[in-house]
A and B are shown apart, each in its own frame.
Chain A
Amino acid sequence: MQFDNRSRRSKILRDVNEIKASKNYTFASTGESNLSMYEFAPKEEISLRDFEDIAAQRLKALRKIEELKLREKSYDEFKVSMGKELHPIFKPCTLHQSGVLEDQRKQIRRDDVIGHFALRLAFCRSPEDTKWFVTQEVELFKYRFQNEPKSAILSFFADNKFDAETMTASEKESRIEDLASSYGLSMEKVRNSDIWMMDALDALELVRKRKVLVHAGKVYLEYESLITIIVQRLRATMNSSMARANQYMGVIEEQDRLLPRLERLTKGGYGGKEFNAAEGQSISRHQIDSASSQFFPLCMSGIQSHLRRNHHLKHGARRQYGLFLKAIGLSLDEAMAFFREEFTQKIDSDKFEKQYAYNIRHMYGKEGKRQEYSAFSCATIILNNPPSHDDCHGCPFKHSTEDNLKSILKANKIKSEDIDEMIALSKINQFDKACSLHWEVSRGHGKGSLSSLITHPNQYYELTREAVGGHQMEDMTDDKISQTSCE
């Protein structure tokens, strides 16, 4: 094991030296195309300051893309908003426009590549980060690709060894019927658009699904499928290189210099802010029931009622719920008492101490690695550790069956038309929108009242608290609540 590490370390150091020794080169393409497949990392020296600035700018752009993608209903509207809102803050998007000076162009292309690779480093360290980053980058690439003129696309293909060319009008005419019926387009449409030819081996997924015309070992692609192919390769390159980078992270000696900077970048990256043990707010265990019905998102109030009903939580739910409670200000002592009171209704307190107390202290950073754990974001809840049938954690919009979700929402006194809308949203994987809608209608604020989307259960909680002014909680003393909960 030790040997492995050593050999890996020495290989990486060798690589580093090699990079240092190699001649600086301008990595951005000099050709007509403004796009890069980002297959080769830049090898030039750059000041930390620039590194950070460029990365921060790109990150801002990616967040904007995420926002617009969620906000706009159709791709056309998305494109319009991108033009209005992204172009001013992100120069690489304006490269295709005329009037960019050659020097400027070089500079912008360089920043484009540096920014991309800087963020790869920053986002390679958890699968969720990587996923978020790849999604936004791909969206950005697609958008920029569509702005490129055909001549630039051809030079981009040549640069990146995509062996693709367009069909001539007469070639098209010779198999016009097949082309039209492969894509469900009219022959007129086929005549008027570019059809690209590529080796079938470069478009395997489209071949597999019979989404393209296949003839003599070649595939014939209309624009949409062409983009699919390129994006697939981009995604594959990014995923594998980021997985590799993640392995290397532990070995490069950058603890003091680069790593904190990268950390800063991802902090507050996609999930908005991190929710740790809350500052300035606290909650006692006796307030949880009333808080649950007033302020909690569906995922948490569900766990709360499961706990009251069954006096037990499985590991997934303990973790999801425990960290959430910690982040809304439940202290360790209160948490311990809270879970003990419930659990010991079914098991004796010895067993509780043995099996669960450690677990709870661990969440508060008092055991094991002694790490401060943050509450799970929606992304974590949705992407990781899906609940099995007897679990009660997860995201109801993602993990519940339609019938279950319906009855939960009904019990929540949501109007049936709103229920239908939420179910429709969850069906198209827009769980955040569904949850935001839930916030809007269940708290009586009306649709569209929420300015941002819900991406974190604790964000949901805080927004609710803000909306009610926070005063109701203070009005209740512990005694009153414990009385009511005892009844």
Chain B
Amino acid sequence: MFYVICHFPVNMTEPRPFEMNRLVDYLQHYYRKGVFPFKPYTNWLTYSKKPSEYFNLREFAFIIDKDGEEVHLRYRSFNDAFEFEKELCRVSPHKLDLGAVYNYVPKEGRNRVDFRAMERELIFDIDLNDYDSVRNCCEGATVCGKCWKFIVVAVKILDARLKKDFGFTALLYVFSGRRGVHCWVGDAKARKLTNSARSAFAEYLTLFEGDKMDLKGKGRGKTIIHPMITDCYNVIMTAENGQLVKDMVIEQSYLEKEEDTLKDCKNPQLKEELQRIFTLSKPESRWQMICLKCDEKTWRSEREKLKDQPDKLKNLPEPPSDEYKLFLLQWVLSRLYPRLDVNVSTGVNHLLKSPFCIHPKTGNVAVPIDAQKVHLFDVTKCPRIDQLLEELDKVKEDEGETKENRKMLAYKHTSLAPHVEIFEKFVEKTIGKM
């Protein structure tokens, strides 16, 4: 316990814009001063094996900026943690991507005929871009707190499925630096999955083809709603005691226009009821009424509430029929179920932006976030490379501690620290699994 936990003054003013032209400068300091958490990072990729068995076989890709053009340097590999750190400090690449673990050391073996990707973490990519058809607050690259809630839902669902259905435990969620989240599954079993297993798992989790939702699953005649779909619905409806879904329904104005909802309703009786519900003026009360008619849990808790008031109890509607329930399930999932980019997940050798890499346009660090607290993460306050360096300078001025310790664990003195802690917990889990 040789480091000090620091408290930073909360920055009350509006953050100043990121100066992209100083990026090269920032990057050098970011790596050389050890703000990048080398130790836990290389621990992770070593998976407590000999470096020659795993770390050395891993492909890294450096993306460097050459006169304004991105140049990809693929199949980089390093003997050990030390060489990796040295090279990263020397090159200070624009971006850092992680590839697969190969059967030969990538930089030497990549021309061999039998050079093959053997293992890599199972990865998922969720990007707000893919939500444009249901996202009414922003468009394209802009992201606000309202949009972030789509990510919150996606992480909750992905987390439930990966744990409950596939039995994975070592999960890491990383903010991509701009408008998405990557999920890394580090369990040994997940790393060993073949391409076809990855695509099977990813398709199992995919409910959309384009913007069309297909709950039945491919090639299925009867309308059988798979229990995992019902569970996803329950996850959404119960998140934050129902507050999350309610907020989203209001914020994304899903209940403003009657026809948006009615067009998907085939049942004439329900249609009539919905029309009546839309005569209520406030979207909040519309949502409440719809839940009462179509969501079993809402209906039950309402009945529980009214059980001592017989005069009110008799006004309680009928318990939701299967058809009503199915309607709301489809209504909710078609708007909030995560849009996964399947292509990212299916290839063992797919490159993905590494955690703690810097987003060159925003300066944001790709920080790990806690799946239980995704809703507390504020995109606009994501640790930014320039601010981290400032924080570090400030600590130095204040304390003037010896230089050696500082370099090792510089990140602990910045607002990156809590994110590194989340990361370390994940690393422990992957290593504990060996």
* Residue of A204, A209, A211, A215 touching B164 (CB-CB under 8 A): A215
* Residue of B189, B193, B227 touching A182 (CB-CB under 8 A): B227
B50 at the interface (CB under 8 A from A): no
> Cβ of A204 and Cβ of B166 under 8 Å apart?
no
Which A192-242 residues have C-beta < 8 A from chain B?
A: 200-201, 204-205, 207-211, 213-218
Extra 8 A-B pairs, beta carbons < 8 Å, given A208-B199, A216-B167: A204-B196, A207-B204, A210-B226, A210-B228, A210-B229, A211-B220, A214-B165, A217-B166
Give how many B residues have a beta carbon under 8 Å from the other chain's beta carbons: 26
B219 at the interface (CB under 8 A from A): yes
| Closest residue of B by beta carbon distance from A180 | B227
Q: How far is the CA of A182 from the CA of B231 in the complex (A)?
A: 12
Subset of 16 A-B contacts with CB under 8 Å: A181-B227, A182-B227, A200-B166, A201-B193, A201-B197, A204-B196, A204-B197, A205-B200, A207-B201, A207-B204, A208-B218, A210-B226, A213-B226, A216-B167, A217-B165, A217-B189
- Per-residue CB proximity of A76-104 to B under 8 Å, as 1/0? 00000000000000000000000000000
Give the shortest distance, in Å, between A361 (CB) and chain B (any CB): 44
Q: Which residues of A contact B201 (CB under 8 A)?
A: 207
Q: Which residues of A contact B263 (CB under 8 A)?
A: none
> Cβ of A214 and Cβ of B217 under 8 Å apart?
no
- The interface centre, meaning the residue of B199, B224, B229 with most chain A CB atoms within 10 A of its CB, is B224
Q: Which residues of A contact B166 (CB under 8 A)?
A: 200, 214, 216-217
B276 at the interface (CB under 8 A from A): no
A183 at the interface (CB under 8 A from B): yes
* Residue of B200, B219, B222, B229 touching A204 (CB-CB under 8 A): B200
Interface, chain B (partner A; CB < 8 A): 164-168, 189, 193, 196-197, 199-201, 203-204, 217-220, 222, 224-230
Q: Which residues of B contact A201 (CB under 8 A)?
A: 193, 197
Give the shortest distance, in Å, between A480 (CB) and chain B (any CB): 56
Give the shortest distance, in Å, between A390 (CB) and chain B (any CB): 31
> Cβ of A208 and Cβ of B200 under 8 Å apart?
yes
> Cβ of A217 and Cβ of B222 under 8 Å apart?
no
Q: Which residues of A contact B229 (CB under 8 A)?
A: 210
Q: Which residues of A contact B164 (CB under 8 A)?
A: 215-216
> Cβ of A181 and Cβ of B225 under 8 Å apart?
yes
Q: Which residues of B contact A211 (CB under 8 A)?
A: 217, 220
Q: How far is the CA of A205 from the CA of B201 in the complex (A)?
A: 10
Q: How far is the CA of A218 from the CA of B167 in the complex (A)?
A: 8
> Cβ of B217 and Cβ of A209 under 8 Å apart?
yes
Q: How far is the CA of A76 from the CA of B204 in the complex (A)?
A: 32
- The interface centre, meaning the residue of A200, A210, A211 with most chain B CB atoms within 10 A of its CB, is A210
* Residue of B193, B222, B230 touching A184 (CB-CB under 8 A): B222
A139 at the interface (CB under 8 A from B): no
The 4 A-B pairs with the shortest beta carbon distances in the complex, nearest first, are A217-B167, A216-B167, A210-B217, A204-B200
* Residue of A177, A182, A208, A217 touching B204 (CB-CB under 8 A): A208
Q: Which residues of A contact B204 (CB under 8 A)?
A: 207-208, 210, 214
Q: How far is the CA of A130 from the CA of B52 in the complex (A)?
A: 45
A178 at the interface (CB under 8 A from B): yes
Q: How far is the CA of A483 from the CA of B167 in the complex (A)?
A: 81
| Closest residue of B by beta carbon distance from A212 | B226
Give the shortest distance, in Å, between B226 (CB) and chain A (any CB): 4
Q: Which residues of B contact A214 (CB under 8 A)?
A: 165-166, 204, 228
Q: How far is the CA of A216 from the CA of B165 in the complex (A)?
A: 5
- The interface centre, meaning the residue of A182, A209, A213, A216 with most chain B CB atoms within 10 A of its CB, is A209
| Closest residue of A by beta carbon distance from B193 | A201
| Closest residue of A by beta carbon distance from B192 | A201
* Residue of B165, B217, B225 touching A215 (CB-CB under 8 A): B165
Q: How far is the CA of A205 from the CA of B230 in the complex (A)?
A: 21
